[in-house]
Structure 1
Amino acid sequence: MTVLVTGATGTVGRQVVRSLLDRGRKVRALTRDPARADLPEDVEVIRGDLADAGGLEAAFDGATAAHLITFGEGYRPLANGRDLVDLAERAGVGKVTVLAGWQEGTLEPAVRASGGLEWTFLEPVQFMANFLADWGEPLRTTGRVREPYGDRQSPPVDEHDIGAVAATVLTQDGHGGRSYHLTGPEVLTARRMVGIIAEVTGRDLRFEELTPEQVRREWSVPGGRPPLSIFDAFAQAAGFGEADLVEILLQMYGTPNEYGTMLTDQVEKIIGRPPRTFAQWAAEHAHHFLPAPR
């Protein structure tokens, strides 16, 4: 059984590869740059761009299952979803997992309309790994996270657990036609998550809350906004400018979202163990939040 993993060098894709290998499956990894893939030696790495279905026959050939992402370079939603589904069906792919993104493109409806694919959508709200990109540099250098709405809440999920869910769904029966809302085991505020990182690193780290007006004043100028991974992805996909992006960020951070704060038990039901806590994740990645040695 060969499983094709698209986005195999990404945050979640690497974990899907790892979990499939742990289950003894043969893995084929799709990447635009095989020379930089840095994947285990027993993974078959193949060059390809998901946005160009015409060049992917070899990637799908012989695969019985596939993990699909819904975006291409620059986090833009795929425009060739129907072509990809046709290619997968012709190749004899039976099962697919689809990692949902911020913005639905053409792949999602094409997968749902497919008559030959047993599909499952994976819908994590927030990856714990995003905090490496968003908070790593400011915590290393200043010991502070300066953002609005410190009491905003989310149930972040460990990317390792998302990979384990995908691998389980792709190698077991009973998940076809379902969408799984994946969360961690607890709802946390941004302020509390900084506190947890402080505890595991033994450092004096603080969340410094900015008012909306401070955010507009400081972040709307070129270079003023810190690198927030999820909003950079959203901006690239949608083509927003800085000022527009700041307003979107304030609205999203400041507006209560029932779906975005809802806890589910779906990770545990699928993989048979509780999802990893933010404290476990932070302890494992503590070195990313420590100052560089002098």
Structure 2
Amino acid sequence: MYLIAGATGNVGRHVVTGLVAANEPVRALTRDPAAAGLPAGAAAVATADAAADATLDGVTGVFVHAAVFHGDLPGFLAAAKAHGVKRVVTLSSLASVSPGNPIGDHHLALERQIEDSGLEWVHLRPGAFAVNTLAWAGQIRGDGVVRLPYPDSHTNAIHERDIADVAVRAFLTDDLVGARPVLTGPESLRQDEQVRLIGAAIGRELTAERIDAKVARDAMVGGFVTEAMADWMLEAQAEMVDNPAPISPETERILGRPGRTFADWAVEHAADFA
């Protein structure tokens, strides 16, 4: 039995689907079980009940990420271990590779808490998510102009289903225990090239327009994104202007196939932009 936190999120939902497809029993943590819309074979459980006996009984593996267990993660891990959980698969971040930035340090703290629990662990460190470009949907549905501070900045965006496929492998085999694989997409693309590929997927000509970085920063701050996070993300984008993003071989090595391209992702998500 596997317990998947954030089961209706961009990655968690696909982890649930992958495990169900492998005929594995799944409990899916979500804030609103009644509205989860998960595949048959997955039992939805309220996130508030994550450490309950009924939730953890029979569970051997847990999928964890920072957006869910930002409270008493050590307490949850202790309860999980007491109930016989053996392995934790963590959705961490590529930013953890270079400590000293707010996003990386946040995820490193999560990784260390899991390692200190004494449970087996696998920390997945994906870079930018292709799904993050859904933030452009309003502009695309409007005038078809995506306003960006650095449209010529490169990214190695990864398809969320590839991250989930690696997570499923981390549960179903022992190949990745104790590993921190860096996961990227199979190509480096400029952000204006991503805009063009979304246009091709929806059959419209789209353009990218440069805006002042301060304007972009003001729009980014809010919710999970702090001012420090926004500053770091913009600095990272600036560093990648006309600078191809490195491609990790780990996604293809682990999955035994090339990662899905951004063009693939855009076609799959065309309805989200139309």
Instruction: State the TM bucket, normalised to the shorter chain.
Output: 0.7 to 0.9
Distance in 2 (CA, whole Å) between partners of 1:188 and 1:30 is 34
The one-character-per-residue Cα deviations of 1:38-58 (angstroms, maximum 9, x if unpaired) are 111321111123xx76x5332
Q: Are 1:68 and 2:64 matched, yes or no?
A: yes
Q: 2:255 aligns with which of 245, 267, 271?
A: 271
Q: Unaligned 5+ residue runs, structure 1?
A: none
Q: 1:261 aligns with which of 215, 234, 245?
A: 245
Alignment check: 8 A CA contact 2:4 2:12 kept: yes
**SS of 2:165 mapped into structure 1:** helix
**SS of 1:275 mapped into structure 2:** coil
Residues 246 and 92 of structure 1, relative CA distance in 2, 3 Å threshold: closer
Alignment check: 8 A CA contact 2:217 2:231 kept: no
The one-character-per-residue Cα deviations of 1:222-256 (angstroms, maximum 9, x if unpaired) are xxx2xx5xx64542xx4x4xxx7764553232134
Distance in 2 (CA, whole Å) between partners of 1:207 and 1:25 is 44
The one-character-per-residue Cα deviations of 1:7-34 (angstroms, maximum 9, x if unpaired) are 1011110000011111111111011211
Q: CA shift at 1:114, angstroms?
A: 2.8
CA-atom RMSD in angstroms: 2.3
Residues 267 and 250 of structure 1, relative CA distance in 2, 3 Å threshold: closer
The corresponding residue for 1:11 is 10
Q: 2:113 aligns with which of 110, 115, 122?
A: 110
State the one-letter code of the partner of 2:64.
Answer: L
State the one-letter code of the partner of 1:92.
Answer: G
Distance in 2 (CA, whole Å) between partners of 1:31 and 1:287 is 25
Q: Are 1:84 and 2:86 matched, yes or no?
A: no
State the one-letter code of the partner of 1:57.
Answer: D
Q: Unaligned 5+ residue runs, structure 2?
A: 94-102
Q: Are 1:22 and 2:18 matched, yes or no?
A: no
Distance in 2 (CA, whole Å) between partners of 1:262 and 1:56 is 42
**SS of 1:120 mapped into structure 2:** strand
Percent of aligned positions that are identical: 34
The one-character-per-residue Cα deviations of 1:202-234 (angstroms, maximum 9, x if unpaired) are 21100011233xx44x864xxxx2xx5xx6454
Residues 60 and 105 of structure 1, relative CA distance in 2, 3 Å threshold: farther
Q: Matches of residues 280-291 of structure 1 in structure 2 within 5 Å?
A: 280-290=264-274
TM-score by length of structure 2 reads 0.87
**SS of 2:266 mapped into structure 1:** helix
Instruction: List structure 1 runs of 4+ shifted beyond 6 angstroms.
Output: none
Residues 249 and 156 of structure 1, relative CA distance in 2, 3 Å threshold: closer
